[in-house]
């Protein structure tokens, strides 16, 4: 008889033992519910829908810190004096657009009340409903409005035109520095004037820095040079107000473990339209202008961004003034950005060396452009001072040179006059005194000789003194310069070490290593001797953190197709601690305690020691932990771990204090299998919140949500995704995400995950196996088999791969091969319950019911709560006709897993077969509720309902007091006959029904005709209460009837096969295969039975079964 | 604005990861609101509220930088953009929260557990998607003409002003039964716009879109 649809349980192995997957979760894909759409509409169109309207009044005003010597100012951008929208509209006349940027447009306007021209910057219409952009826009005005300096364009007013905020500012009539620079034909042209502009920019920025504001987008396009020579810094749209004290204070405080100020790059801002070489401010990307950006800004390293970012900008402007180009030049903006991020200044420095400017000016510019922020001037004031000194020096040198030139000219003129006079006098006297001269010559020669010697000696002594003095002075100057350099160097090393310490505390070994390397380099240049101990300590701590990172990575990386054993992980942990001198196994407790206590990574070390506790010299580790981390709660937990006191662990984990532990300890607790899984999840989540980038934590947390279960599937998926985001190259994370996605029915995404895992580790058998499992679920059997075979090739002892290969082969109809695979899996892993269960399914499919039941029972013995195995043994028992035992099995499955729709459905069928129609209805309804897509359950529910109506009519029909008038009644009564084992009556009812209307007979989906043939064959064999007395003629007629009905069905199945459609072929294969095994047809199928039939009849039946066999072969999967 | 039918968020993400400035800008503009809104809700009443701009920027810097998460996502490694974006925001937010508090500020007041934060993000995301669907419906209505625009107006009156259908009918001097029909049609149009928006952010089969829509609506309820 045709059984209602009864899908086998299909199981597949996952990466780890015990993580086999259940049948795919089913999802109701029904239309959106009416009520829930209301919620969406309310969110879409309701008062609080979409982005909230920007409200200037709701914005917290930006208040700048007071510069030294300034009186207190209270800036109230939203004071009562602010014009209303209408007032603003009346007050300002707008006459045209001057410029346009990414965020706002600058319009030319006129203040009617004050009668002055001004510039009006208005937020672009497209951002009118973007509160984030509006807020930045208004902040720009607020910052600009509070920077009262001749070098900053003054802001007059702020308000709104409708929804759009605006602010007014001075209309500067002039041109930008970018325009001036681009108008030069030679980079050396107009240098003094341009340097004077650069000085004024530096002074304006010095003022802004004193107010705690950094600009972050200094470039020639943002410098306006007025018609009267006034210089003003514009576009404060990227400006950032530093926290009180600014970066330097925080740097100083960093040794006291405070963070440094963080400044970032925004995502939408106004952009200049000037310049070239990638000089436009970019929108939606790294912000600022790459051609003028310091490396820390271009690489998005927000932790390093402070006033020195602007110092770099000033240097970049100087660079363009001196060389005609900004520091970074490239063929594309991407190239410029890359150069900026890498601090690739080689070209700029070469250009500066060749620009012909004074060495002092070049040195100043180069220091501004130093790739390391610590090497630059600390703020714009230092740049302004340097530039001012240089320009003053130039001026002084010019004046001195001029003075010296005038003196030299005067002296030369005087000398000429003197010489002429002297020559005239000499000529006159030569004649008169020739004789006296000749007489005096001898005397004079003697006198002059002596004087000359004395004079010469004096000159020599003076020269020596001067040389000595000069040398001494030069030495002193060199010493001062060297001392200054050493002091700067020491300061830089100290700052770098503080950053390294912060990075180590945050567990960021990569960043710590980079910073420490820089510190070492600087330290070798002198001036940092007092930091040498600090540097050594951090070096050792970095080595330790790297070691522990490597252990964590090892812990989360599968090797030989499985995650490493905890004991091996503990050994590696101990080795790492040993290298750092903190292993109590090799060092004394005192020495180890001193090492741990002095370490910046103390918490990490304590955490490692905790994990070591169960595996190492317990007393020593315990003593060490008591010394370095004395805490009553943690002490109690450690004692419970050592005593293996699970009850105590559960009690301690349940305490509130458990959630307040440091992340490392919370992770340690959350990893304990003794604690209930719910509590472990809570503990691990608390730990993840505090240490979000910890891959081990995330993977442990995701594993707290077991696979194959609906509960927690979303959470599991979420944590797996977080693990991937943390460690995109971790293969185990990809495998776990694949499992989670598979559980959610997102097969394509799961496949992508496994393929990623295979790309990362082509030899990971688990990934190949899991990929095969998903492909099988998608019906791609050939690929699935290939994957499983690959997994087996990589790991021949991988029982799950053998099991999965068996499943795929069974799907292909290769039962014998599938059975061999299951047996192999069981041989490799005798306690593999799912393999036993699957072997049972394959044997049942072959009709070996008793062997199948043995397998199911074995699976249940291994896993008593294995609901599907209980369900399957029920199916086998039902097939054997043992309905009561089957019902007990189904009930057991349902008790274990109330949501198992299949067991409800099967129980319904068993109850129906017993005639318990009402109870069956309840079960079918339950099955439909659990799995609304279960069409078979709906059909059976319909059957049960029909049977309930006809319950009392069967007796009347048998008595002859009731004659069915409709086919519905005839077919319903036939089904009752099946239940009551009245095969002869059933075949008669079917015959009547088909005579009245042939359509039901041809409906292969319900298979009435096949069932009718079964009844006829059974009755012919005298099975059934109403068939025991049938004579030979009637039996022959019934066999002929059965033959004709089967023949008719066979013709229809042949047509189905001819369509070539996979679904039709599969259905035909399943049905015809069932025909061959159906015990109801034994009397017309088994060779022994056929041998007893008359020759002609026997040949007909043999021909029919040969045709069935032929069709089955044709329908076999390739 | 919706991109062409063949374009999904992943198309844009891949282009952005490859360095396309336009797509980077587009991506930032499209998701900026969600990121900001989530952070604002997460840090409501906390001093960290002042860091929203910086944190928002850090999210995109994290996405765009070379070898960053967006590049990984663009290579097709991480499915499900919503969950992916949430992961990035959460990591950035936690980085900010993990910094020692400034001397003067109180400790951040953030949601107590990650499940809450995840729901918070889901709600924020759902609101943004609904708003985008409403915008799309408006745009479509502008193309379709006055009747369609009136149906959008009907939704506004119904949900923004909270008017019952009969009051709207009274206001428009129309038969309430007719307005009910318009209302049903407007809802259908919204549903269609919603599925289209979801298809952009969450490409998948029709059934998967329905499922995602149901999940978004559940997050709002």
Both structure tokens of A380: 């714009």
In A461-520, the residues whose Cβ lies within 8 Å of chain B are 506
B14-B17-B21 Cα angle (round to 5): 105
- Cβ <8 Å between B220 and A299: no
At B65, the pLDDT band (50, 70, 90 cuts) reads low
Q: What's the pLDDT score for residue A628?
A: 87
Inform me whether the pLDDT recorded for A190 exceeds 60: yes
CB-based contacts of A62, cutoff 8 Å, min separation 6? A75, A139, A142, A143, A146, A241
Helix (H) or strand (E) holding A1082, with range, is none
B79, B114, B187 member nearest A37 (Cβ): B187
Inform me whether the pLDDT recorded for A442 exceeds 60: no
At A630, the pLDDT band (50, 70, 90 cuts) reads confident
Q: What's the pLDDT score for residue A877?
A: 92
Give DSSP secondary structure letters for B177-219: HHHHHHHHHHHHHHHHHHHHHHHHHS---HHHHHHHHHHHHHH
DSSP annotation of A1081 reads G
Q: Which residues are registered as beta bridge partners of A749?
A: none
Inform me whether the pLDDT recorded for A471 exceeds 80: no
- Cβ <8 Å between A132 and B53: yes
Look at phi and psi of residue A527 and say left if phi exceeds 0, alpha if psi is from -120 to 50, else beta: left
Residue A661 to residue A560: CA distance in whole angstroms: 35
Residue B10 to residue A752: CA distance in whole angstroms: 14
Asked if A908 and A972 count as a contact pair (C-beta separation under 8 A), the reply is no
Q: What's the pLDDT score for residue A9?
A: 32
Residue A445 to residue A196: CA distance in whole angstroms: 61
At A783, the pLDDT band (50, 70, 90 cuts) reads very high
The chain-wide mean pLDDT, for chain A, equals 79
Q: What's the pLDDT score for residue A889?
A: 94
Q: What's the pLDDT score for residue A402?
A: 65
- Looking at beta carbons, which residues of chain A come within 8 Å of B77? 724, 728, 734, 752, 756
Residue B220 to residue A38: CA distance in whole angstroms: 10
Q: What's the pLDDT score for residue A376?
A: 93
- Cβ <8 Å between A40 and B214: no
Look at phi and psi of residue A213 and say left if phi exceeds 0, alpha if psi is from -120 to 50, else beta: beta
Question: Which of A577-586, A644-653, A755-764, B6-15 has the least mean pLDDT?
Answer: B6-15
Nearest to B121 by CA among B180, B182, B174, B80: B80
Q: What's the pLDDT score for residue A439?
A: 52
- Looking at beta carbons, which residues of chain A come within 8 Å of B79? 741, 746, 749, 752-753
The alpha helices in A373-433, defined as continuous H runs, are 380-432
At B4, the pLDDT band (50, 70, 90 cuts) reads very low
DSSP annotation of A270 reads -
Q: What's the pLDDT score for residue A139?
A: 80
Q: Which residues are registered as beta bridge partners of A21?
A: A12
A342 close to B (CB below 8 A): no
User: Can you tell me which residue has the tokens 């950005």?
Assistant: A337
Asked if A283 and A143 count as a contact pair (C-beta separation under 8 A), the reply is no
- Looking at beta carbons, which residues of chain A come within 8 Å of B96? 262
3-state secondary structure of B37: helix
Highest mean pLDDT among A439-448, A697-706, A1031-1040, B37-46: A1031-1040
Handedness of CA B137, B139, B143, B148 (dihedral sign): positive
- Looking at beta carbons, which residues of chain B come within 8 Å of A50? 127-128, 131, 134-135
Inform me whether the pLDDT recorded for A292 exceeds 60: yes
Question: Which of A44-58, B108-122, B129-143 has the least mean pLDDT?
Answer: A44-58
Handedness of CA A212, A217, A219, A224 (dihedral sign): negative
What's the whole-model pTM score?
Answer: 0.46
Tally of residues, chain A: 1118
Question: Which of A46-50, A245-249, A969-973, B53-57 has the least mean pLDDT?
Answer: A245-249
Give the distance from CA A840 to its chain's centroid. Answer: 43
DSSP annotation of A56 reads G
Inform me whether the pLDDT recorded for B34 exceeds 90: no
Q: What's the pLDDT score for residue A250?
A: 36
Q: What's the pLDDT score for residue A4?
A: 35
A531-A537-A541 Cα angle (round to 5): 140
At A51, the pLDDT band (50, 70, 90 cuts) reads very low
Asked if A245 and A210 count as a contact pair (C-beta separation under 8 A), the reply is no
A213-214 vs A164-170, strand pairing mode: unpaired
At A788-801, the pLDDT tens digits run 999 999 989 989 99
Q: What's the pLDDT score for residue A321?
A: 93
Q: What is the mean pLDDT of residues B81-86?
A: 75
3-state secondary structure of A881: coil
At A40, the pLDDT band (50, 70, 90 cuts) reads confident
Residue A109 to residue A1008: CA distance in whole angstroms: 89
Q: What is the mean pLDDT of residues B85-114?
A: 59
In A1049-1108, the residues whose Cβ lies within 8 Å of chain B are none
Nearest to B24 by CA among B55, B59, B76: B59
Q: What's the pLDDT score for residue A221?
A: 87
Nearest to A758 by CA among A558, A552, A549: A558
At A279, the pLDDT band (50, 70, 90 cuts) reads very low
Q: What is the mean pLDDT of residues A1044-1070?
A: 89
Nearest to A64 by CA among A243, A216, A236, A237: A243
3-state secondary structure of A162: coil
Q: What is the mean pLDDT of residues A864-873?
A: 91
Residue A1112 to residue A1074: CA distance in whole angstroms: 11
Instruction: Please report, for residues A147, A313, A1022, the alpha-carbon distance to residue A64 in angstroms, rounded to integers and kept in the order given.
Output: 8, 22, 103
At A831, the pLDDT band (50, 70, 90 cuts) reads very high
Give the distance from CA A1111 to its chain's centroid. Answer: 53
In a mutational test of the B interface, the residue from A45, A264, A670 whose CB has the highest number of chain B CBs within 10 Å is: A45
At A713-737, the pLDDT tens digits run 788 888 888 888 777 788 888 888 8
Residue A429 to residue A423: CA distance in whole angstroms: 10
DSSP annotation of A15 reads S
Q: What is the mean pLDDT of residues A951-973?
A: 85
Q: What's the pLDDT score for residue A1039?
A: 95
Residue A770 to residue A776: CA distance in whole angstroms: 10
DSSP annotation of A951 reads T
Give DSSP secondary structure letters for B93-156: HHHHHHSPPPTTSPPP---SSHHHHHHHHHHHHHHHHHHHHHHHHHHHHHHH-HHHHHHHHHHH
CA Rg, chain A, in Å?
47
Q: What's the pLDDT score for residue A272?
A: 31
Inform me whether the pLDDT recorded for A259 exceeds 70: no
Q: What's the pLDDT score for residue A282?
A: 40
Q: Decide which of A481 and A747 is more confident.
A: A747
Look at phi and psi of residue B112 and say left if phi exceeds 0, alpha if psi is from -120 to 50, else beta: alpha
Q: What's the pLDDT score for residue A617?
A: 64
CB-based contacts of A475, cutoff 8 Å, min separation 6? none
Q: What's the pLDDT score for residue A401?
A: 67
At A48, the pLDDT band (50, 70, 90 cuts) reads low
DSSP annotation of A107 reads E
Question: Which of A272-276, A551-555, A923-927 has the least mean pLDDT?
Answer: A272-276
Give the distance from CA A293 to its chain's centroid. Answer: 28
- Cβ <8 Å between B78 and A746: no
Asked if A502 and A304 count as a contact pair (C-beta separation under 8 A), the reply is no
User: Can you tell me which residue has the tokens 């993000």?
Assistant: B121
Q: What's the pLDDT score for residue A434?
A: 63
User: Please, what's the b/e burial string for A321-356 (b: 16 or more CB within 10 A of its CB; e: otherwise)?
Assistant: bbbbbbbbbbeebebbbbbbbebbbeebeebbeebe
Asked if B217 and A32 count as a contact pair (C-beta separation under 8 A), the reply is yes
Percentages of chain A per state (helix, strand, coil), in multiples of 5? 65, 5, 30
- Cβ <8 Å between B113 and A686: yes
At A215-246, the pLDDT tens digits run 888 999 889 887 677 888 988 877 877 764 33
Residue A484 to residue A491: CA distance in whole angstroms: 10
CB-based contacts of A577, cutoff 8 Å, min separation 6? A544, A583, A605, A608, A609, A612
Burial class (CB in 10 A: 0-12, 13-18, 19+), A1018: buried
Inform me whether the pLDDT recorded for A275 exceeds 70: no
At A260, the pLDDT band (50, 70, 90 cuts) reads very low
Shortest distance, CA B180 to any CA of chain A (angstroms): 14
Residue A266 to residue A238: CA distance in whole angstroms: 7
Residue A1056 to residue A1038: CA distance in whole angstroms: 27
Residue A363 to residue A369: CA distance in whole angstroms: 10
At A132-147, the pLDDT tens digits run 777 778 888 888 877 8
Q: What's the pLDDT score for residue A452?
A: 57
At A354-385, the pLDDT tens digits run 888 888 899 999 999 999 888 899 999 999 99
Residue A881 to residue A844: CA distance in whole angstroms: 14
Q: Which residues are registered as beta bridge partners of A155?
A: A169
At A283, the pLDDT band (50, 70, 90 cuts) reads very low
Inform me whether the pLDDT recorded for A1108 exceeds 90: yes
- Cβ <8 Å between B28 and A715: no
Residue A826 to residue A806: CA distance in whole angstroms: 12
Inform me whether the pLDDT recorded for A537 exceeds 70: yes
Asked if A212 and A244 count as a contact pair (C-beta separation under 8 A), the reply is yes
Nearest to A672 by CA among A706, A695, A642: A642
Highest mean pLDDT among A310-319, A669-678, A922-931, B146-155: A310-319
CB-based contacts of A963, cutoff 8 Å, min separation 6? A957
A132, A259, A282 member nearest B100 (Cβ): A259
Asked if A834 and A11 count as a contact pair (C-beta separation under 8 A), the reply is yes
Q: Decide which of A1084 and A91 is more confident.
A: A1084
- Cβ <8 Å between B130 and A43: yes
DSSP annotation of A562 reads B
3-state secondary structure of A122: strand
């Amino acid at each position: 008889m045709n059984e209602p649809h009864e899908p086998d349980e299909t199981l597949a192995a996952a990466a780890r033992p015990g993580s086999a997957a259940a049948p795919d979760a089913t999802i109701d894909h029904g239309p959106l519910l009416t009520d829930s759409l209301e919620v969406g509409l309310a969110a879409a169109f309701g008062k609080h829908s979409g982005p909230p309207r920007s409200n200037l009044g709701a914005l917290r005003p930006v208040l700048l810190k007071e510069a030294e010597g300034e009186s207190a100012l209270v800036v109230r951008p939203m004071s009562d004096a602010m014009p209303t929208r209408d007032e603003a509209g009346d007050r300002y006349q707008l006459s045209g657009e001057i410029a346009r940027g990414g965020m706002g447009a600058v319009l030319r306007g006129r203040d009617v009340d004050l009668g002055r021209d001004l510039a009006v910057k208005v937020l672009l219409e497209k951002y009118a409903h973007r509160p984030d952009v509006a807020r930045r826009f208004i902040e720009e005005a607020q910052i600009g409005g509070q920077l009262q300096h001749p070098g900053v364009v003054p802001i007059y007013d702020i308000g709104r035109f409708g929804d759009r905020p605006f602010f007014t500012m001075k209309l500067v009539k002039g041109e930008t520095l970018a325009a001036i620079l681009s108008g030069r034909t030679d980079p050396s042209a107009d240098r003094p004037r341009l340097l004077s502009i650069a000085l004024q920019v530096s002074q304006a920025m010095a003022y802004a820095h004193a107010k705690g504001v950094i600009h972050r987008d200094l470039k020639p396009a943002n410098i306006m040079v007025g018609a009267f020579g006034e210089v003003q810094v514009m576009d404060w749209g990227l400006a950032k107000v530093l926290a009180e004290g600014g970066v330097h204070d925080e740097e100083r405080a960093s040794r006291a473990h405070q963070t440094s100020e963080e400044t970032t790059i925004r995502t939408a801002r106004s952009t200049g339209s000037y310049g070239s070489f990638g000089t436009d401010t970019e929108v939606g990307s790294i912000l600022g202008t790459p051609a003028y950006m310091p490396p820390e800004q271009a690489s998005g390293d927000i932790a390093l961004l402070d006033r020195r970012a602007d110092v770099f900008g000033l240097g970049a402007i100087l660079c363009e003034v001196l060389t005609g180009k900004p520091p970074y030049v490239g063929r594309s903006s991407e190239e410029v950005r890359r150069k900026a991020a890498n601090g690739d200044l080689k070209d700029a420095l070469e250009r500066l060396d060749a620009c012909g400017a004074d060495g002092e000016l070049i040195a100043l510019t180069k220091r501004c452009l130093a790739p390391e922020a610590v090497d630059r001037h600390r703020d714009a004031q230092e740049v302004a001072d340097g530039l001012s000194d240089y320009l003053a020096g130039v001026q002084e040198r010019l004046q001195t040179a001029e003075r010296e030139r005038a003196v030299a000219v005067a002296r030369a003129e005087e000398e000429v006059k003197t010489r002429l006079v002297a020559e005239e006098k000499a000529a006159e006297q030569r004649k008169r005194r020739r004789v006296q001269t000749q007489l005096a010559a001898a005397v004079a020669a003697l006198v002059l000789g002596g004087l000359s010697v004395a004079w010469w000696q004096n000159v020599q002594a003076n020269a020596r003194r001067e040389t000595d003095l000069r040398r001494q002075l030069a030495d002193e100057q060199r010493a001062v310069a060297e001392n200054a350099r050493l002091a700067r160097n020491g300061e830089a090393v100290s700052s770098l070490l503080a950053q390294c310490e912060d990075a180590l505390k945050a567990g960021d070994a990569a960043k710590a290593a980079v910073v420490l390397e820089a510190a070492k380099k600087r330290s070798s240049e002198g001036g940092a001797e007092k930091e040498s101990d600090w540097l050594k300590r951090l070096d050792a701590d970095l080595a330790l953190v790297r070691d522990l990172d490597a252990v964590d990575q090892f812990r989360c990386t599968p090797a030989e197709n499985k995650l490493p054993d905890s004991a091996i992980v503990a050994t590696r942990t101990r080795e790492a601690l040993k290298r750092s001198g903190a292993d109590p196994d090799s060092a004394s407790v005192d020495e180890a305690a001193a090492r741990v206590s002095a370490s910046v990574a103390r918490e990490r070390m304590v955490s490692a020691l905790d994990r070591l506790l169960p595996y190492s010299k317990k007393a020593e580790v315990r003593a060490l932990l008591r010394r370095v981390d004395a805490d009553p709660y943690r002490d109690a937990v450690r004692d419970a771990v050592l005593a293996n006191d699970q009850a105590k662990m559960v009690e301690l984990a349940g305490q509130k204090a458990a959630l307040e532990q440091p992340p490392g300890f919370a992770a340690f607790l959350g990893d304990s299998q003794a604690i209930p899984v719910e509590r472990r999840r809570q503990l691990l989540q608390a730990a993840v919140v505090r240490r979000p980038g910890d891959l081990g934590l995330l993977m442990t947390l995701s594993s707290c949500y077991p696979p194959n279960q609906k509960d927690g599937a979303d959470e599991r998926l979420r944590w797996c995704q977080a693990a991937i985001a943390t460690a995109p190259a971790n293969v185990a994370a990809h495998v776990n995400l694949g499992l989670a996605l598979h559980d959610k029915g997102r097969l394509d995404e799961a496949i992508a995950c496994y393929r990623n895992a295979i790309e990362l580790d082509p030899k990971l058998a688990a990934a190949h196996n899991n990929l095969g499992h998903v492909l099988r679920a998608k019906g791609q059997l050939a690929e699935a088999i290939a994957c499983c075979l690959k997994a087996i090739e990589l790991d021949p002892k991988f029982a799950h791969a053998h099991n999965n290969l068996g499943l795929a082969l069974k799907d292909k109809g290769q039962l014998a091969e599938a059975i061999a695979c299951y047996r192999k899996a069981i041989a490799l892993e005798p306690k593999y319950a799912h393999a036993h269960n699957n072997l049972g399914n394959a044997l049942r499919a072959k009709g070996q019911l008793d062997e199948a039941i043995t397998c199911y029972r074995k699976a249940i013995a291994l896993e008593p709560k294995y609901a599907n195995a209980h369900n399957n043994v029920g199916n086998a028992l039902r097939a054997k006709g043992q309905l009561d035992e089957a019902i007990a099995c189904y009930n057991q499955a349902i008790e274990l897993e109330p949501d198992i729709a299949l067991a409800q459905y099967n129980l319904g069928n068993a109850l129906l077969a017993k005639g318990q129609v009402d109870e069956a209805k309840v079960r079918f309804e339950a099955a439909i509720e659990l799995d609304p897509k279960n069409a078979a359950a709906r059909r059976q529910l319909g059957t049960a309902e029909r049977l309930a109506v006809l319950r009392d009519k069967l007796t009347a029909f048998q008595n002859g007091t009731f004659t069915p008038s409709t086919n519905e009644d005839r077919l319903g009564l036939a089904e009752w006959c099946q239940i009551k084992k009245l095969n002869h009556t059933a075949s008669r009812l079917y015959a009547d029904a088909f005579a009245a209307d042939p359509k039901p007979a041809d409906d292969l989906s319900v298979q009435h005709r096949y069932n009718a043939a079964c009844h006829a064959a059974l009755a012919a064999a005298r099975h059934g209460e109403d068939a025991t007395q049938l004579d030979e003629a009637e039996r022959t007629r019934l066999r002929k009837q059965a033959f004709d009905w089967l023949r008719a069905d066979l013709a229809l199945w042949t047509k189905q096969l001819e369509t070539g459609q996979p679904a039709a072929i599969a259905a035909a294969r399943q049905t015809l295969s069932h025909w061959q095994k159906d015990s109801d047809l034994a009397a017309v199928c088994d060779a022994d039975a056929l041998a007893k039939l008359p020759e002609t009849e026997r040949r007909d039946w043999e021909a029919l079964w040969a045709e069935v066999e032929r069709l089955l072969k044709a329908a076999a999967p390739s | 604005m919706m991109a062409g039918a063949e374009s999904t968020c992943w198309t844009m993400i891949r282009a952005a990861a490859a360095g396309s400035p336009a797509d980077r800008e587009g991506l930032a503009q499209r998701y900026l609101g969600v990121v900001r809104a989530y952070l604002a809700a997460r840090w409501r009443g906390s001093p960290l509220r002042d860091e929203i701009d910086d944190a928002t920027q850090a999210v995109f810097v994290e996405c765009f930088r070379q070898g960053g998460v967006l590049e990984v996502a663009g290579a097709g490694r991480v499915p499900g953009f919503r969950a992916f974006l949430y992961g990035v925001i959460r990591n950035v937010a936690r980085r900010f929260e993990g910094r020692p508090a400034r001397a003067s500020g109180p400790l951040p007041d953030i949601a107590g557990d990650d499940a809450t934060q995840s729901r918070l993000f889901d709600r924020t995301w759902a609101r943004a998607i609904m708003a985008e669907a409403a915008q799309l419906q408006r745009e479509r209505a502008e193309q379709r003409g006055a009747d369609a625009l009136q149906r959008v107006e009907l939704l506004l009156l119904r949900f923004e002003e909270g008017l019952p259908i009969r009051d709207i009918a009274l206001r428009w001097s129309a038969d309430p039964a007719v307005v009910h029909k318009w209302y049903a049609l407007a809802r259908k149009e919204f549903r269609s716009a919603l599925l289209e928006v979801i298809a952009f952010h969450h490409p998948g089969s029709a059934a998967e879109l329905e499922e995602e829509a149901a999940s978004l609506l559940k997050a709002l309820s």
